[in-house]
């Protein structure tokens, strides 16, 4: 805080300047003034926060000076110093907004107390003003959010937002008698890391855009929402693009902008916001940076929503092999293929990722021996968030399933038998030899055969046949595939032999089994 001393007596000026250590009190001492007239010339430029002035000086006296200072700088704290113990003067000074009234005979401690009282008054005013500004900004942001969501209340409650838009030139065209063109722009800036650093980046981006564009803005947890005026031709669009480019270059980050369509008034901003949100949802598919609008997404009809049987089989083999490197390669490839599909939409990408994780859950249930189809995974097993690399999240989810299975197996005395059972169930459509399965669990075939029968109660051939028939029965119940196709899916090339084996185990032919389940 800056303090100015005004007195026509040099001994008083010098004493007040030197006897008290103003710097120690947190005050910056300005050069003292010899008269009220000199002070009036300097005050507009030097803007003291606290003034200590004599009450009786040649020309303008201290009380008149106090009145003039209050006109220029209403918040300035003024302390009157005088050699006249005159109560009438004190009353008049206090009426003019003077903070305190001291005799020149007062000791340094009394003068320090008065200066500290003035300093505290200023700090209280500033804090009150800050709180008022914070509350005002919060109210404006709250009302703007309601406007964007189409939940605006009465006109009176919108006045703070409308004044905000006028002050920032967002409604400049409307004031000039033109039809307003307003757009909502959603901006995401990334590249500084997560948590506190991500928040710092967004705050810096908001400050820059507030300076570069006529706009009002809201800071969300992972993005900025701005309302900015539009214009005709490419000039205004070019200004937006250049502003985002400036943001990227200055803050060394990536910037994605989603632009909503033009609306004619603040009351219609919810339409532009909804369109901007729809475009923003495509940020993983459109690229990490650039300015996009509805035209960039309109032709997308949707990509694949379910992983293929081949992809599911490949995933099962990788999870069974407990190979994280292969799993990483698989997830990178399968996700990038979908993201590069020009027809893909956020909904189709999310559905596809969901189907891959569900396939992983199905594998885990089968591998653990909970049945052919397995239990149902959670309704939501994948969330498409703002991460520009969804393959990383997919890898983590699938790796967790793989780890769960293999850790469970390692805790068992005969884990290799359980792993063999899981391997068999995943490859029932193959020509599964005992030697192949024994090789998978790294055992001698003869030893494996003995331990397998001891643990399962069945010979290797009996177990494989039982699992094939069980899987065939499930397929017959849940699909309308031809019986010959079902036979191939469970490893039987000879249709007649399959039918004989099926009837021997179930008492019915495949067709009879399907028919009996349809009539139940």
Residue 179 is predicted with a pLDDT of 52
Q: How much is the average pLDDT of 450-462?
A: 88
Q: How open is the CA angle 186-190-193, to the nearest 5 degrees? A: 145
Residue 443 to residue 423: CA distance in whole angstroms = 14
Give tens-digit pLDDT for 497-513.
999 999 999 999 999 88
Give tens-digit pLDDT for 427-445.
888 888 999 988 888 889 8
Tell me if the pTM is above 0.85. no
> Which stretches does DSSP call E strand in 153-245?
182-190, 216-219, 224-229
Of the ranges 74-78, 128-132, 258-262, which one carries the lowest mean pLDDT score?
A: 128-132
Residue 386 pLDDT > 60: no
Q: Could you tell me the pLDDT band of residue 410, with boundaries at 50, 70 and 90?
A: low
Better-predicted residue by pLDDT, 449 or 56: 449
Residue 396 pLDDT > 50: yes
Residue 373 is predicted with a pLDDT of 40
Better-predicted residue by pLDDT, 408 or 150: 150
Burial 467-483 (b: 16+ CB within 10 A, else e): bbbbbbbebbeeeeeeb
Q: How much is the average pLDDT of 383-391?
A: 67
Residue 415 is predicted with a pLDDT of 73
Q: Does residue 387 sit in helix, strand or coil?
A: coil
What are the residues whose beta carbons fall under 8 Å from the beta carbon of 135, sequence distance 6 or more? none
Residue 289 is predicted with a pLDDT of 87
Token code pair at residue 346: 């956020």
Residue 515 to residue 302: CA distance in whole angstroms = 38
Residue 413 is predicted with a pLDDT of 55
Determine how β-strand 254-259 pairs with β-strand 182-190: antiparallel
Q: 355, 305 in Cβ contact below 8 A?
A: yes
Residue 14 to residue 86: CA distance in whole angstroms = 25
Give tens-digit pLDDT for 4-45.
999 988 988 899 999 999 999 999 999 999 999 999 999 999
DSSP state of 294: G
Q: Exposure of 487 by Cβ count < 10 A (0-12 exposed, 13-18 middle, 19+ buried)?
A: buried
Residue 374 is predicted with a pLDDT of 41
Q: 476, 518 in Cβ contact below 8 A?
A: no
Residue 370 is predicted with a pLDDT of 46
Residue 453 pLDDT > 70: yes
Q: Could you tell me the pLDDT band of residue 101, with boundaries at 50, 70 and 90?
A: confident
Q: How much is the average pLDDT of 195-219?
A: 91
Q: How much is the average pLDDT of 397-412?
A: 80
What top-level class would CATH report for the domain 178-296? alpha beta
Token code pair at residue 460: 């290797």
Q: Please report where in the chains the tokens 């910037």 appear, as a residue.
A: 255
> Which stretches does DSSP call E strand in 191-319?
216-219, 224-229, 254-259, 290-292
Phi, psi of 50 (to 5 degrees): -130, 135
Helices (H) then strands (E): counts for the chain = 22, 10
Mean pLDDT score across all residues of the chain: 86
Residue 375 is predicted with a pLDDT of 45
Percent with pLDDT over 90 in the chain:
46
Q: Could you tell me the pLDDT band of residue 380, with boundaries at 50, 70 and 90?
A: low
Residue 119 pLDDT > 90: yes
Residue 96 to residue 63: CA distance in whole angstroms = 7
Q: Could you tell me the pLDDT band of residue 414, with boundaries at 50, 70 and 90?
A: low
Q: Which architecture does CATH list for 2-125?
A: 3-Layer(aba) Sandwich (3.40)
DSSP state of 23: G
Residue 106 pLDDT > 90: no
> Which stretches does DSSP call E strand in 49-181?
50-54, 77-82, 100-103
What are the residues whose beta carbons fall under 8 Å from the beta carbon of 255, sequence distance 6 or more? 187, 188, 189, 205, 244, 247, 248, 289
C-alpha to C-alpha distances, 31 to 38, 48, 54, nearest whole angstrom: 11, 11, 15
Helix or strand holding residue 280 (H, E): helix 269-280
Residue 371 is predicted with a pLDDT of 43
Residue 441 is predicted with a pLDDT of 83
Residue 440 to residue 463: CA distance in whole angstroms = 17
Token code pair at residue 329: 């390669």
Residue 85 is predicted with a pLDDT of 63
Return the CATH number of 412-520, one of 1.10.3720.10, 1.10.10.60, 3.40.640.10, 3.40.50.280: 1.10.10.60
Residue 26 is predicted with a pLDDT of 93
Residue 422 is predicted with a pLDDT of 82
Determine how β-strand 216-219 pairs with β-strand 254-259: unpaired
Better-predicted residue by pLDDT, 514 or 371: 514
Residue 45 is predicted with a pLDDT of 94
Give tens-digit pLDDT for 233-251.
678 889 999 999 999 999 9
Of 16, 355, 415, 105, which Cα lies nearest the Cα of 31?
16
Name the residue ranges covered by the structural domains of the chain. 2-125, 178-296, 300-402, 412-520
């Amino acid at each position: 805080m800056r303090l100015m001393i005004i007195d026509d007596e040099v001994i008083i000026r010098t004493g007040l300047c030197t006897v008290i250590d103003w710097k120690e009190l947190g005050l910056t001492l300005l050069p003292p003034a010899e008269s009220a007239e000199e002070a009036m010339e300097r005050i507009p430029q030097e803007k003291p926060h606290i003034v200590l002035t004599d009450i009786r000086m040649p020309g303008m006296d201290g009380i008149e000076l106090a009145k003039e200072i209050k006109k220029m700088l209403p918040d300035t704290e003024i302390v009157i110093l005088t050699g006249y113990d005159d109560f009438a003067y004190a009353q008049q000074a206090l009426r003019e907004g003077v903070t305190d009234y001291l005799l020149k005979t007062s000791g340094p401690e009394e003068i320090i107390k008065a200066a500290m009282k003035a300093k505290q008054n200023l700090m209280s005013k500033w804090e009150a003003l800050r709180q008022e500004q914070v509350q005002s900004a919060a109210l404006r942001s709250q009302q703007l959010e309601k406007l964007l969501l189409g939940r605006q209340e009465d006109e009176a409650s919108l006045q703070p937002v409308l004044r905000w838009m006028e002050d920032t030139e967002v409604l400049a065209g409307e004031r000039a008698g033109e039809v307003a063109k307003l757009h909502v722009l959603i901006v995401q800036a990334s590249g500084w890391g997560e948590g506190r650093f991500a928040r710092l980046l967004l705050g810096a981006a908001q400050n820059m855009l507030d300076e570069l564009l006529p706009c009002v803005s809201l800071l969300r947890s992972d993005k900025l929402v701005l309302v900015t005026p539009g214009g005709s031709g490419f000039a205004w669009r070019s200004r937006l693009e250049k502003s985002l480019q400036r943001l990227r270059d200055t803050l060394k980050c990536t910037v994605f902008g989603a632009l909503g369509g033009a609306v004619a008034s603040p009351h219609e901003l919810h339409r532009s916001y909804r369109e901007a949100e729809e475009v923003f949802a495509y940020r993983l598919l459109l690229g990490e940076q650039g300015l996009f609008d509805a035209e960039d997404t309109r032709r997308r009809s949707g990509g694949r929503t379910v992983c293929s049987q081949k992809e599911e089989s490949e995933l099962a083999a990788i999870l069974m092999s407990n190979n994280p490197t292969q799993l990483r390669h698989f997830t990178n490839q399968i996700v990038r293929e979908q993201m590069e599909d020009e027809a893909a939409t956020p909904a189709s990408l999310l559905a596809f990722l969901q189907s891959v994780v569900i396939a992983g859950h199905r594998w885990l249930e089968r591998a653990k021996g909970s049945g052919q189809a397995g239990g149902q995974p959670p309704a939501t097993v994948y969330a498409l968030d703002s991460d520009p690399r969804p393959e990383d999240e997919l890898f983590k989810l699938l790796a967790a399933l793989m780890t769960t299975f293999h850790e469970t197996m390692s805790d068992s005395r005969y884990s290799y038998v359980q792993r063999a059972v899981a391997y068999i169930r995943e490859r029932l459509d193959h020509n599964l030899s005992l030697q192949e399965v024994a090789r998978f669990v790294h055992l001698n075939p003869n030893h494996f055969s003995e331990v397998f029968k001891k643990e399962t109660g069945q010979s290797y051939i009996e177990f494989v046949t039982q699992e094939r028939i069980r899987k065939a029965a499930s397929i017959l119940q849940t699909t309308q595939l031809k019986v010959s196709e079902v036979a191939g899916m469970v490893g039987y090339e000879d249709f007649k032999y399959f039918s004989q084996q099926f009837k021997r185990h179930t008492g019915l032919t495949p067709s009879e089994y399907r028919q009996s389940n349809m009539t139940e």
